[in-house]
Amino acid sequence: MTNSEHASIEQYVNMPELLARVDNDSELLTELFALFQEDSPKLRDALDNAVRAGDLRQAEKTAHALKGMLANLSMKHGATLAANLEAAARAGDEGEIQRAMAAFNADETGLLAAVGRFMAGGEP
Amino acid sequence: MKILIADDEAVSRRMLEKTVERAGYEVTAVSDGRRAAEELCRPDGPRLALLDWVMPQLDGPAVCRTVRRKRSQRHVYLVLLTSKSSKEDIVEGLESGADDYLTKPFDPGELKARLLTGMRVLELEDNLLEAREDMRYKATHDSLTSLLSRGTILELLSGELNRRRSSKHPISIVFGDLDHFKQVNDTYGHIVGDEVLREVARRILGSVRSYDFVGRYGGEEFLVVLINSAVEKAMDRAEEIRKAVGGSPVRTTQGPVPITLSLGVSVSRPSDTLPLEEILCEADGALYAAKSAGRNRCCLGASSRV
């Protein structure tokens, strides 16, 4: 994703699908995005720490958790990047882990910013 | 119906919780596998669970294995939630004891349909258990009086006699036979005769302790097993039964019917080695003596007097 600082949430989230999954409950949607804002950075830190410590089993588990959260929120691109990271950690491929981490972190930064703007009312 | 949701990831857990609540279920949500297993292994725990595959402490398949090992009374319907989609993973999940699996991210419609499937299976199991319990009751109880059947009370008596030595407690048996019951049937008809038998059964049951056994031995014959009762206590109890049965006429659809009961008592002490048949024979002899002595009385068996 490019121009991530100003990208709309639709570039990261399949909103029609997500709204259908929460039964068009905007209150629940807000609650879930808030959980995402809270938990996503923690998981990302845990992932960084696991990779830095060479604990690839833990890195795989954390990437798996991130993948699940992103998929549940219809953040398909992010989920795919987390899945790549999970696969790289499982394979123990250090080079691939670094590449996957970089791609994931870049997307995640833009995603969090988009969610932040959405939550602040910057988007409908 | 209470449903357990176990998922360590907060977004997924909250989405599941809300979807399941909206479908009309009560939800208990936990964030690790160990707590999920604890909840599900409680006797009154949830009977349907959605378990994430990857969780701290215990993963989903390990929770399934724990539940299947520990809780066998009633089936718990377990659905694994997984983003794993290979056949090997699915086979592993089902082999661990899961009943079904759902791929993540879940579709709310599919989730509700799977829950309904689980409910149907649990309902079917409940019906089967109920039918089995009903059949067990019918096989062990007399259909007219609801007392224990002859076979059941003899089986229980045999078990008590086998335990008698180690328990060091005497066991008494009381044979009761309604006096002139044929006349009741001949005078009022068999329907009234049945009403009398039902009421007599009720009166006998009301005269013994909760841990004594009462059975219908034959047509108008009753057998009572008194646990931990020596001669004096057994004779007192037999007398109470006699008074309870004959104390007032039985109210029937054809009006009050007077009835009396003759009883024979036999006592088996812990040191006795008499087999079941001989103990019954002694009580039967005592009953015969009660009949011969004019009915409506209690007599003690010859060897029980020693």
Task: Report the C-alpha gap between B250 and B254 in whole angstroms.
Answer: 10
Inter-residue contact B46 to A30 (CB < 8 Å): no
User: Hey, what CATH topology would domain B150-305 get?
Assistant: Alpha-Beta Plaits (3.30.70)
For residue B22, the chain A residues in CB contact (below 8 A) are: 23
* Min Cα separation B198/chain A (Å): 59
Q: Which residues, other chains included, contact B55 with Cβ-Cβ below 8 Å and sequence gap of 6+? A: B6, B7, B8, B31, B32, B33, B36, B63
The pair of three-digit structure tokens given for residue B40, joined into one six-digit string: 């599900």
| DSSP β-bridge partners for residue B252 | B255
To the nearest 10°, report the CA torsion of B129, B130, B134, B135: -30
Q: A94: domain CATH number?
A: 1.20.120.160
Backbone angles phi, psi at B205, to 5 degrees: -60, -35
For residue B18, the chain A residues in CB contact (below 8 A) are: 22, 25, 28
| Whether B104 contacts chain A with CB within 8 A | yes
Is residue A124 included in any domain, yes or no? Answer: no
Judged by CB atoms closer than 8 Å, whether chains meet at A39 and B11 is answered as: yes
pLDDT tens-digit map of B249-293: 999 999 999 999 999 999 998 888 788 999 999 999 999 999 999
CA angle A46, A51, A54 (to 5 degrees): 125
Catalytic residue among B39, B160, B195, B220: B220
Out of B176-190, B203-217, B221-235, B269-283, least confident range:
B269-283
Domains B2-138 and B150-305 agree in fold: no
Q: Is the ipTM of this complex over 0.90?
A: no
| Whether A115 contacts chain B with CB within 8 A | no
Task: Report the C-alpha gap between B216 and B140 in whole angstroms.
Answer: 11
| Whether A40 contacts chain B with CB within 8 A | no
Query: Taking Cα atoms as reference points, which of B41, B42, B40, B58 lies closest to residue B50?
Result: B40
- Tell me B213's DSSP state: E
* Min Cα separation B63/chain A (Å): 18
Mean of per-residue pLDDT scores for chain B: 93
| Whether B11 contacts chain A with CB within 8 A | yes
Q: What is the pLDDT of residue A2?
A: 45
Backbone angles phi, psi at B263, to 5 degrees: -135, 140
pLDDT tens-digit map of B103-156: 888 899 999 999 999 999 999 999 999 999 999 999 999 999 999 999 999 999
Q: Which residues, other chains included, contact A27 with Cβ-Cβ below 8 Å and sequence gap of 6+? A: none
Is residue A98 included in any domain, yes or no? Answer: yes
Residue in chain A nearest B103 by alpha carbon: A68
Q: What is the pLDDT of residue A18?
A: 95
Domain ranges in chain B are: 2-138, 150-305
Inter-residue contact B295 to B258 (CB < 8 Å): no
Tokens 């790549």, residue located? A84
Residue B171 clears pLDDT 60, i.e. is over it: yes
| Whether B34 contacts chain A with CB within 8 A | no
* Min Cα separation B109/chain A (Å): 9
Q: What is the pLDDT of residue B167?
A: 76
Task: Report the C-alpha gap between A13 and A33 in whole angstroms.
Answer: 11
For residue A36, the chain B residues in CB contact (below 8 A) are: 11
Residue in chain B nearest A33 by alpha carbon: B11
Q: What is the pLDDT of residue A124?
A: 44
Task: Report the C-alpha gap between B203 and B121 in whole angstroms.
Answer: 43
Q: Which residues, other chains included, contact B205 with Cβ-Cβ below 8 Å and sequence gap of 6+? A: B147, B214
Query: Nearest by CB to B9, which of A25, A69, A74?
Result: A69
Query: How many percent of chain B have pLDDT more than 70?
Result: 98
Task: Report the C-alpha gap between B5 and B1 in whole angstroms.
Answer: 13
Q: What is the pLDDT of residue B275?
A: 87
For residue A72, the chain B residues in CB contact (below 8 A) are: 9, 11-12, 15, 104-106
> Which 3 state secondary structure label does DSSP give B246?
helix
Q: What is the pLDDT of residue B43?
A: 87
Task: Report the C-alpha gap between B225 and B300 in whole angstroms.
Answer: 14
Amino acid letter at B124?
L
Domain count, chain A: 1
| Whether B124 contacts chain A with CB within 8 A | no
| Whether A65 contacts chain B with CB within 8 A | yes
Task: Report the C-alpha gap between A21 and A13 in whole angstroms.
Answer: 13
Task: Report the C-alpha gap between B287 and B300 in whole angstroms.
Answer: 8
Q: What is the pLDDT of residue A1?
A: 47
For residue A65, the chain B residues in CB contact (below 8 A) are: 8-9, 54
Roughly what angle, to the nearest 10 degrees, separates helices B190-205 and B181-188?
A: 140
| Whether A72 contacts chain B with CB within 8 A | yes
CB atoms within 10 A of CB B177: 21
| Whether B162 contacts chain A with CB within 8 A | no
Q: What is the pLDDT of residue B198?
A: 98
Judged by CB atoms closer than 8 Å, whether chains meet at A68 and B18 is answered as: no
- DSSP of B140-167: HB-TTT-SBPHHHHHHHHHHHHHHHHHH
For residue B12, the chain A residues in CB contact (below 8 A) are: 68-69, 72
| DSSP β-bridge partners for residue B268 | B171
CATH number of B2-138: 3.40.50.2300
B220 is catalytic: yes
Print pLDDT tens along chain A (124 aa).
445 566 789 999 999 999 999 999 999 999 999 999 999 999 999 999 999 999 999 999 999 999 999 999 999 999 999 999 999 999 998 899 999 999 999 999 999 999 999 999 855 4
What domain range is A96 assigned to? 4-20+27-119
Residue B39 clears pLDDT 80, i.e. is over it: yes
Amino acid letter at B15?
M
B294 backbone φψ class: left, alpha, beta (φ>0; ψ -120 to 50): left
Q: Which long-range contacts (CB under 8 A, 24 or more apart) does B216-220 make?
A: B216/B142, B216/B144, B216/B145, B216/B147, B216/B148, B216/B149, B216/B150, B217/B150, B217/B153, B217/B175, B218/B150, B219/B181, B220/B177, B220/B178, B220/B181
Judged by CB atoms closer than 8 Å, whether chains meet at B12 and A69 is answered as: yes
Pairing of strands B77-82, B171-178: unpaired
Is residue A111 included in any domain, yes or no? Answer: yes
- Tell me B206's DSSP state: T
For residue B54, the chain A residues in CB contact (below 8 A) are: 61, 64-65, 68
Task: Report the C-alpha gap between B212 and B229 in whole angstroms.
Answer: 10
